[in-house]
Amino acid sequence: RKIDLDNGWIINLGRGLDIFEKFSRFSLSNSRQENRRCKEFSVTYMYK
């Protein structure tokens, strides 16, 4: 649930990488990521 960058920053994701809502197999969202709806989540940036 976190990403450690080599420049000292840590990115904590409240939900992990599962941020997109489910969509229909035949939906336009299947091929275009910008059309997908996101679940609610939080992101925290910290510097070591």
- Check the CA dihedral 14-15-17-23 and report its sign: negative
- Cα angle 44, 21, 3 (rounded to 5 degrees) comes to 30
H or E segment and range at residue 43: strand 43-47
Record the pTM.
Answer: 0.56
What the block records as the tokens of 3 is: 């990403």
The predicted pLDDT at position 28 comes to: 63
For residue range 1-48, list pLDDT tens digits in order.
Answer: 789 999 999 999 887 667 777 777 776 656 677 777 888 888 899 998
For residues 36 and 10, the answer to whether their CB atoms sit within 8 Å is no
The predicted pLDDT at position 29 comes to: 58
The predicted pLDDT at position 11 comes to: 93
